Amino acid sequence: MNLETRWNWQQDDWPSFRFDRSAMAESEATFLVGAGQLLGALLHLPDAEKSELTVELISNEALKTSEIEGEYLNRESVQSSIRRNFGLATDARRIPPAEQGIADMTMDLYRGFAEPLSHQAMFRWHGMLSAGRRDLKIIGGYRTDNEPMQVISGPIGNPKVHFEAPPSAAMEKEMVAFVDWFNATAPQGNLALPALTRAGIAHLYFVTIHPFEDGNGRIARGLAEKALSQALGRPTLIALSQTIEKNKNSYYEALHRSSRDNEITAWLVYFADTILQAREATQRMIDFLIQKTRLYDRVKGQLNQRQEKALARIFREGIEGFKGGLSAENYIAITGAARATATRDLQDLVDKGALLRTGALKSTRYHLNLETRK
């Protein structure tokens, strides 16, 4: 393999990543300021709303980190498992292994963010992610297969190799070095790095080694969040995987571009921007909950059971709401009301300031009236 085609881990300077610190300075400062603003916004939420926000954010991250890998899990099952972990009310449903596993890993990261990284912790996470699997040779341990660990696409007879990870024989050496690096670069470590820089390197470093048969991307993103949480001294609760999933092609392209060279400024700038977008997404969720509380305060004691049920259902759709807005047909399906009753109920919700109406006739749609009031 010539120099032009060598992977980053095959180069003489591996794993001594190089980057322009000045390119990260503004993002690092913005992250710390934004984290303080996020904490301040959280203080305005009642305890019950804080709990709901925490469950929502953790659940979203669990679902989206799986979706990035093409695995689509049941939202209600993941949320139910996480609610049980927090001791919150939930149903008695049976949680499938995949949903239980990602929920357990996410909660383990949330609760143990301050703990130094260890091989045992990563083995535990891999075991959680692999719950119910029968196709893996090793669960809860680094890979040992002699076959190359490759990311490929294309036909079987003529595949395109996008990346090849270090051989299995190197896993112990590589992972000992990775764990040592992660702990040494922590806020109290002797090689402490700024928050976004450390998170970005941790993700790229780990995913390059690709130490497990499967689950490497999910664990890499978990490690990035652990690094951010350690920098802040509390769980970050930012929508990192949710933000990545919205444009995962850019994510994979950025990883691929960083697989040939250990000068990683471009990767760190990309990842820092993604984290800042994730923080903004979390801020929007907090604002949404505050506006939700204010809306309910405005209409308290004024709604019938159908309207309360419909309003709760709309809020469950989250910030984006019903695609294209709530229709009369949606209202009928949610409440079981007759059409004439639905029409009256919806008009009443508009009159009371709970909903806004757009369009006319068959194009009439209703949206939450999330006006901000002090």
With beta carbons less than 8 A apart as the criterion, state whether 92 and 86 touch.
Answer: no
Summarize the confidence of residues 293-318 as an average pLDDT: 93
324: three-class secondary structure by DSSP: coil
Spatial distance between the Cα atoms of 225 and 17, rounded to a whole number of angstroms:
20
**Residue 6 pLDDT grade (very low, low, confident, very high; cuts 50, 70, 90):** confident
Q: How confident is the model at residue 156 (pLDDT cuts 50, 70, 90)?
A: confident
Confidence of residue 353 (pLDDT cuts 50, 70, 90): very high
The CATH architecture of the domain made up of 304-368 is Orthogonal Bundle (1.10)
Residues present in the chain in total? 374
Q: What percent of the chain has pLDDT over 90?
A: 82
**pLDDT of 153 over the 80 cut:** no
Task: State the Cα angle at 17 between 15 and 19, rounded to 5°.
Answer: 180
CATH of 3-287, one of 3.40.50.720, 1.10.3290.10, 1.10.3720.10, 1.10.10.10: 1.10.3290.10
163: which strand partners? 151
What is the average pLDDT across 185-209?
98
Residues of the chain with CATH 1.10.10.10: 304-368
pLDDT at residue 3, as a whole number: 43
Kindly report, residue by residue over 27-55, the tens digit of the pLDDT: 999 999 999 998 888 887 888 888 988 99
Identify the pLDDT of residue 232: 97
Average pLDDT value for residue range 173-196: 98
Q: What pLDDT shows up at residue 1?
A: 42
**Structure confidence at residue 373 (pLDDT):** 42
Assign 368 to helix, strand or coil. Answer: strand
- Report residue 5's pLDDT band, with 50, 70 and 90 as the boundaries: low
Read off φ and ψ for residue 157, nearest 5 degrees.
-75, -20
In this prediction, residues 174-201 reach a mean pLDDT of 98
Helix axes 328-335, 339-351, angle to 10 degrees: 110
Residues of the chain with CATH 1.10.3290.10: 3-287
Percentage of the chain beyond pLDDT 70 is 98
pLDDT score for 118: 98
> What's the whole-number average pLDDT of the chain?
93
Residue 372 has pLDDT above 70, yes or no: no
